[in-house]
């Protein structure tokens, strides 16, 4: 009789729970035993409540230290993020969640007609911004964090005191829903994008209309300033994006070529290029001065890295991708989501990417090689995910009206571990 079939090995966890029973232990060498043990520890880590402080992560780390198996890597990604706070109070879906530039506050915009301001360190509700007569479409802080501008389907944008939630200004004039609103980099102006086919510029101090930017043939979904505040880029249902002079509202360039709605458009950090994302499942990179098409990428969501070297995209195949912003070459594919990607964002240091998905997860990836580092779980579809300015936290928001603050300090160490 083969001696391997006559021997047994039994491993126990604390408390007497059987971890592994193997008949024919001689069949396994040391490496095989370590792999089996690593997988068993990883499985136990995955079964633990992920919000049980550090216990699940510690067990996943032990699994990885025993053997670097795919199961151990997955357990690390699932248990690495620490839930810091649950932001609960909205009675409907949250459409966006953003940090203030000092990282001390978070503002959420809801379809319940309110925006809410929260403390980023403990999730305490600081103010509820009430007064809109329709669902909100966006909410962002002013550069100095003292104000918030909200956009709404009630045809207005409003400016609020970020400390006490008092209404300061109502920007009325659009002939339809306001889909986007943001402050200029110096905080002196506000740009709004409307269903009435216009982009509008406002004085952020007194709320007076400064200029109306006409030219789009259909709804305008978004409008953003260049980093120097000198230009504005808008994205429209008319399949184009347009670049405007922020001083006088004159049209400078029309970016034409998409065959479906352009929902997003952004300048590169140096302002030399623009990126557009369209429902035709292409992302296009343009010379922002001439409108020349430079490259066509796969996806519909798009964002430049803060250093301007890369572009992240989300595509209809549920994958995210990283591209060289200069050449358009594909650098990495990030696979793991099982449903559509709602948002892609870089960390402030350009090292990491967070993706928000309808599959109820946000995922954190290495921007250099596309490796999965962490999975942030929500209880419903994730509509928004953003890093804090120091890169140590991520806020994710869901259609269930709940936002979650996750602490992700230590991504560099985790990334180095997984590269070993």
**pTM for this model (two decimals):** 0.84
189 and 42, same domain (yes or no): no
9 and 141, same domain (yes or no): no
Last residue of a domain, one of 40, 58, 79: 79
pLDDT at 339: 95
CATH of the domain at 172: 2.130.10.10
Q: What is the pLDDT of residues 99-125, one digit of tens each?
A: 999 999 999 999 999 999 999 999 999
Q: What is the pLDDT of residues 304-353, one digit of tens each?
A: 999 999 999 999 899 999 999 999 999 999 999 999 999 999 999 999 99
Check if the beta carbon of residue 66 is closer than 8 Å to that of residue 34.
yes
Domain count, the chain: 2
- Residue 246: half-sphere exposure toward Cβ, Cα within 13 Å: 23
146 and 63, same domain (yes or no): no
Q: What is the pLDDT of residues 134-162, one digit of tens each?
A: 999 999 999 999 999 999 999 999 999 99
Check if the beta carbon of residue 272 is closer than 8 Å to that of residue 285.
no
Check if the beta carbon of residue 223 is closer than 8 Å to that of residue 234.
yes
Last residue of a domain, one of 46, 79, 112: 79
Helix, strand, coil percent values for the chain (each to nearest 5): 15, 45, 40
167 and 292, same domain (yes or no): yes
Q: Which of 375, 385, 372 is nearest to 335 (CA)?
A: 372
What is the band of 379 on the pLDDT scale with cuts at 50, 70, 90?
confident
* Domain around 257: 85-419
Check if the beta carbon of residue 352 is closer than 8 Å to that of residue 365.
yes
pLDDT at 418: 64
49 and 104, same domain (yes or no): no
Q: Phi first, then psi: give them for residue 345, nearest 5 degrees.
A: -145, 140
Alpha carbon distance 129, 165 (integer Å) = 5
* Sequence-distant (≥ 6) Cβ neighbours of residue 388 within 8 angstroms: 99, 103, 120, 394, 395
Alpha carbon distance 198, 219 (integer Å) = 8
What is the average per-residue pLDDT within 166-180? 98
Task: Look up residue 301 and give its two tokens.
Answer: 């969501």
Last residue of a domain, one of 45, 79, 113: 79
254 and 355, same domain (yes or no): yes
Check if the beta carbon of residue 379 is closer than 8 Å to that of residue 388.
no
116 and 241, same domain (yes or no): yes
């Amino acid at each position: 009789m083969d001696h391997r079939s006559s021997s047994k090995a039994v491993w126990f966890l604390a408390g007497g729970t059987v971890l592994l029973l193997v008949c024919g232990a001689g069949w396994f060498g040391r490496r095989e035993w370590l792999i089996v043990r690593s997988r068993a520890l990883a499985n136990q880590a995955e079964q633990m409540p992920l919000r049980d402080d550090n216990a699940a992560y510690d067990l996943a780390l032990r699994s990885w230290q025993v053997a670097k198996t795919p199961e151990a890597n997955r357990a690390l990604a699932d248990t690495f993020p620490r839930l810091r706070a649950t932001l609960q109070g909205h009675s409907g879906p949250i459409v966006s969640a953003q940090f203030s530039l000092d990282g001390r506050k978070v503002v959420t915009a809801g379809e319940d007609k309110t925006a809410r301001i929260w403390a980023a360190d403990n999730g305490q509700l600081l103010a509820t911004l009430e007064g809109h007569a329709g669902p909100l479409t966006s909410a962002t802080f002013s550069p100095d964090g003292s104000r918030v501008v909200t956009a709404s389907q009630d045809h207005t944008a409003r400016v609020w005191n970020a400390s006490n939630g008092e209404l300061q200004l109502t920007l009325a004039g659009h002939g339809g829903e306001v889909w986007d609103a943001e402050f200029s980099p110096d905080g002196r102006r506000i740009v709004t994008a409307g269903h009435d086919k216009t982009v509008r510029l406002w004085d952020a101090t007194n709320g007076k209309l400064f200029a109306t930017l006409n030219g789009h043939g259909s709804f305008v979904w978004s409008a953003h300033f260049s980093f120097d505040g000198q230009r504005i880029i808008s994205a429209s249902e008319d399949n184009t994006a347009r670049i405007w002079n922020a001083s006088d509202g004159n049209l400078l360039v029309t970016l034409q070529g998409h065959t479906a709605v352009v929902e997003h458009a952004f300048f590169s950090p140096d302002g030399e290029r623009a990126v557009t994302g369209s429902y035709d499942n292409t992302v296009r990179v343009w010379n922002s001065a001439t409108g020349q098409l430079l490259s066509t990428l796969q996806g519909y969501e798009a964002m430049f890295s803060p250093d301007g070297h890369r572009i992240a995209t989300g595509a209809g195949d549920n994958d995210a991708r990283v591209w060289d912003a200069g050449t358009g070459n594909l650098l990495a594919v990030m696979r793991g989501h099982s449903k559509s990607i709602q948002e892609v964002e870089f960390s402030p240091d350009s090292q990491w990417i967070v993706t928000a998905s309808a599959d109820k997860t946000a995922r954190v990836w290495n921007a250099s090689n596309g490796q999965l580092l962490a999975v942030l779980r929500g209880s419903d579809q994730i509509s928004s995910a953003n890093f804090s300015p120091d890169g140590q936290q991520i806020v994710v928001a869901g259609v269930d009206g709940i936002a979650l603050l996750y602490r992700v300090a230590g991504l560099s160490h985790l990334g180095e571990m997984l590269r070993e």
